[in-house]
Amino acid sequence: MDNSNTVPQNRPQSAKDVKLTIAACYSASFTQAAVANLPPLFYALYNEELGIPLGLIALIPTLFFGLQIATDAVFSVIVAKIGYKATAVIANALSASGLIILGFSPLFSSAIAAIFVSTSLCAIGSGIIEITTSPLVEALPGDGKSAAMRLLHSFYCWGYLAVVLSTTLFFALFGKANWHVLPFFFALVPITCSILFLCVGRLNTLEDNGCSKRFSEFGKNTVFLILFLMMICAGAGEQVISQWASFFAEKGLGVSKATGDLLGTSAFALCMALSRTFYGVKGNRFLFRKRSSYAAERSLFHIFSRYSPPSPRYRLSAFRFAD
């Protein structure tokens, strides 16, 4: 249970706890970026070095996001009962365990089974993080929570970019054959995040503020349902790129892994990070409907651009501006 459950609920969150909460939630976004975007950079290696057929590799993102959605549904109901701090620590522990198992996967007699176990743990951890960090940031005292919430989602993109760039640098220095070392390195991120959450003396929650609502209440709101559908479609478009861009560039376009990851995957992550950070800082000055329509039209154009022209460089450039 949270330590906050043992103290009076009207006790305000200290400035130190606010800073630690923000740092822990932002680092949790880095954890999500690591568990969601590191394995896709290994898809071609799974096929080449471990002999895993492409059909089984295609099940990895299906398993990951299927479990993540199921976890969101289950834990959104019970997270307040378990306690946000305990839930966040469990989520990061599961993510770290999944990454560690991924690092050991080549040693197992059935590497794909180990990868599936790793994927399952990371998916559950990522799903729990998804439904804990946003409410914690939303429940922060003061008037800066709106900007903090927008910046929270930009930290996922910066984490995504860090994963791609550090992986590319690692392969350049030590070779692709040592890919299994990288998950151990990235496991330090959720471990650090767990420590940050444990250091928070008190967590403010929406339940404490009397702002918590059930999904059934939102389900009656037509605007919410439309935005919910938009988020599903936007997320699906983003994940098609993040999960398969590296493999597509290397196998489909015939470019080197470094070129594909730098000009395709990392450029996509950079543009996504810059746009979310910019909106996080200046978002109040822009009309949401106008900007959303423009972003949807631009994304649709670049999605079609990836598959029509024969030039690999043009197709790679289309990845950069799709989000």
Per-residue pLDDT tens digits for 194-238 = 999 999 887 766 555 555 555 556 666 777 777 777 777 766 666
CB 48 within 8 Å of CB 57: no
pLDDT tens-place string over residues 71-105? 988 888 888 788 888 999 999 999 999 999 999 99
Indicate the residue among 157, 186, 212 that finishes a domain: 212
Is the pLDDT reported for residue 150 higher than 80?
A: no
Q: Choose among 241, 253, 247, 240: nearest CA to 309.
A: 253
Position 7 pLDDT exceeds 60? no
Residue 234 and residue 165 share a domain: no
Q: What is the mean pLDDT of the chain?
A: 78
Indicate whether 203 and 219 sit together in one domain.
no
Q: In terms of domains, do 87 and 20 share one?
A: yes
Range in 47-51, 159-163, 229-233 the model is least confident about: 229-233
Comparing 74 with 191, which gets the higher pLDDT? 191
105 and 226 housed in the same domain: no
Of 56 and 310, which is predicted with more confidence? Answer: 56
**Amino acid identity, position 258:** A
Spatial separation of the C-alpha atoms in residues 7 and 109, rounded to whole Å: 50
Domain count, the chain: 2
Shared-domain flag, residues 195 and 111: yes
With H, G, I as helix, E, B as strand and everything else as coil, classify residue 33: helix
Same domain (yes/no): 183, 254: no
pLDDT score recorded for residue 246 = 65
Q: Is 1 helix (H, G, I), strand (E, B) or coil?
A: coil
Containing structural domain, residue 244: 213-323
CB-count exposure of residue 192 (10 Å: 0-12, 13-18, 19+): middle
Q: What pLDDT sits at residue 137? A: 85
| AA identity, residue 47 | N
Together in a domain, 201 and 227: no
**pLDDT tens figures, 101-134:** 999 999 999 999 999 999 999 999 999 998 898 8
For residue 103, CA distances in Å to 117, 170, 283 come to 12, 15, 40
pLDDT confidence tier of residue 1, bands split at 50, 70 and 90:
very low
Same domain, 62 and 204: yes
Say if residues 16 and 200 touch (Cβ distance below 8 Å): no
Confidence label for 304 from pLDDT (cuts 50, 70 and 90): low
Where is pLDDT greater, at 27 or 241?
27
Which residue has 């990454």 as its token pair? 99
**What count of Cα atoms within 13 Å lies in the side-chain half-sphere of residue 264?**
30
Q: Which of 64-78, 163-177, 249-263, 267-281 has the highest mean pLDDT?
A: 163-177
Q: What is the mean pLDDT of residues 283-310?
A: 58
The domain that holds 113 is classified in CATH as: 1.20.1250.20
What pLDDT score does 178 carry? 94
* Domain end call among 178, 212, 246: 212
Mark whether 202 and 222 lie in a shared domain: no
Mean pLDDT within 242-264:
66
258 in the same domain as 111: no
- Among 171, 197, 212, which residue terminates a domain? 212
Same domain, residue pair 174 and 305? no
Report pLDDT for 299: 60
Decide which of 198 and 4 is more confident.
198
278 plus 163 within the same structural domain: no
